[in-house]
A and B are shown apart, each in its own frame.
Chain A
Amino acid sequence: MKEKDGYVDCPEQQLILYVEKSNGEYGPIQTGSFITANFLDDYYLKRDHLVASLKEKVERNEISPIHYYLILEDLTIPELAARVKLCRWTVRKHLNPKYFAKINDRELTRYAVVFNVSIHDLRSMISPKNEDRKI
């Protein structure tokens, strides 16, 4: 890749790209992220749609807030179980709103740490990922 083709204007996300410089030497340049510069609005559009559809399911009592975060953070049940240090069958139960209602605070705290939210946010499904939205 030639140096002149490598530059992208994106101050929000800078990265290093290895390119062919004008003297034929290969080396690093500091540039911006192509996908963040061009497609971040599309990412947020899809995320908003996903959040809306999942919230609707929680309101209809089809899924629990833990299931909501599981999908939103792209985790799997075995991975989440390993992170919260609970048996995967227990985690599977907590995805059901019926069992989520009975969950104790000790277990809920473990989930809150993994999703990086407070217990209150976990119950009301507020994601920290919307805080520093640029677009």
Chain B
Amino acid sequence: MIIDSYHHRMAAHCESGTIASLLGHAGLEITEPLVFGIAGGIFFGYFHKMKSFAFPTFILRNKPGQIRTNLEKRSGIKFRTYCFKTEESGVKKLDELLDKNIPVACQVDFFYMDYVPSWERVHINVHFMSVIGKKESTYIISDCYFPETVELDAGSLLKGRFAGGTMSPKGFLFHTDQIPVSIDFEKAILKGIKKTCFNMLNIPIPFLGVKGIRMFARKVMDWPKFARDIEHLSHEIMKINILLEDQGTGGAGFRFMYATFLQQASDMTQNQELKRMSEKMMEIGDGWREISLFSARIGKNRDLGPDRLKQLSEMIYEQAEVEERFFQELRKSIL
């Protein structure tokens, strides 16, 4: 049984892409950058020591799940969500919803998604994809990281849905429930931008927002202390490229997608200032792209002496300065 009317489409980011696809199926055509921007998805956080990460790392988006909740809050769209105590009840509910022809989004651990090439698979509990059908012992998955729909063994899906650890999914499912007749997109866009500016500039925590980028620049110099050997350090430095470019960001750590959002927002709100800001955001994205290419190059060459790390640190500092000015200007542009 497959929901034929579901139109699979690729997207840059799993959560916003899945939501955009579900809304498209329910009759609301909305682009992925618009979902991402309204939900205030762009963010920065640096984690130097955390019990769930084996090495210092950073994030470039808000907390997983907040894209859905923020979109609900700002647009009036309602999603129906489910969490489960037992695996049996989780499987039963998913099958029930598929029997009713409802495409369902699932939160899973990326590691168990057998259709993903092995070098990409890591333990991360916050991957989202849609389940759109079932064939005996496999489910039909619409994963927006893939050009086509794929089949996944029921056992692997179950392992992914009920993986333990940080942010464990607990079988989490959601689907569209109610879409308002008319949505005030202008208001939603402005709220999204306002909250994004607050998150990047004003959260009084030293490792979040622009302060987090500065901390990242400062602390990257200490990374050799945490590495087992030069190859481990090289792997972690090259992961900067993966986090910025490959892990569902749309390029440059979501900055290119946010620039696209600002351009679309400018057309929808008739605010020419936002168009100018979108061009600036694209340039900021180019700066992050340079950092990611630089990291990949020095990692591959094992050229990881203090001078190179200092150079990397300076490039990141520069991004912090540019982003601080950008978000201050963006806040003024919507007043």
Residues of chain A whose beta carbon lies under 8 Å from any beta carbon of chain B: 1, 6, 12-20, 25-28, 30, 33-36, 38-40, 42-44, 46, 49-50, 73-76, 78-80, 82-85, 113-114, 116, 128-134
B229 to chain A, nearest CB (A): 9
Question: Which 5 A-B pairs give the minimum distances between C-beta atoms?
Answer: A18-B256, A26-B260, A16-B12, A78-B51, A83-B164
Q: Which residues of B contact A42 (CB under 8 A)?
A: 234, 238, 299-300
Name the contact of B251 in the complex, choosing from A17, A35, A130, A134 (C-beta under 8 A): A17
Residues of chain B whose beta carbon lies under 8 Å from any beta carbon of chain A: 10-12, 32-33, 51-55, 111-112, 117-123, 144-147, 159, 163-166, 168, 231-232, 234-235, 238, 241-242, 245-246, 248, 250-252, 256-257, 259-260, 263, 278, 282, 285-286, 289, 293, 296, 299-300
Q: A14-B146, A18-B259, A40-B119 are in contact. List 14 more A-B contacts (CB 8 A).
A: A1-B289, A28-B32, A34-B296, A35-B245, A42-B300, A50-B232, A74-B122, A76-B52, A78-B51, A79-B123, A82-B165, A129-B119, A129-B121, A134-B117
Is there contact, CB below 8 Å, between B245 and A26? no
Task: Give the CA-CA distance A133 to B296 in the complex, in Å.
Answer: 21
Q: Which residues of B contact A12 (CB under 8 A)?
A: 117
A118 to chain B, nearest CB (A): 13
Contact A49:B120 (CB < 8 A) given known A14-B146, A19-B256: no
Is there contact, CB below 8 Å, between A73 and B123? yes
Is there contact, CB below 8 Å, between B285 and A1? yes
Task: Give the CA-CA distance A116 to B259 in the complex, in Å.
Answer: 39
Task: Give the CA-CA distance A34 to B260 in the complex, in Å.
Answer: 21
Is there contact, CB below 8 Å, between B123 and A75? yes
A37 to chain B, nearest CB (A): 11
Task: Give the CA-CA distance A20 to B260 in the complex, in Å.
Answer: 9
Is there contact, CB below 8 Å, between A16 and B11? yes
Q: Which residues of A contact B238 (CB under 8 A)?
A: 35, 39, 42-43
Is there contact, CB below 8 Å, between A35 and B235? no
Could you give 12 example pairs across A and B, Cβ below 8 Å?
A16-B11, A19-B256, A26-B282, A33-B245, A34-B293, A39-B238, A40-B119, A42-B234, A43-B238, A74-B55, A82-B164, A132-B118
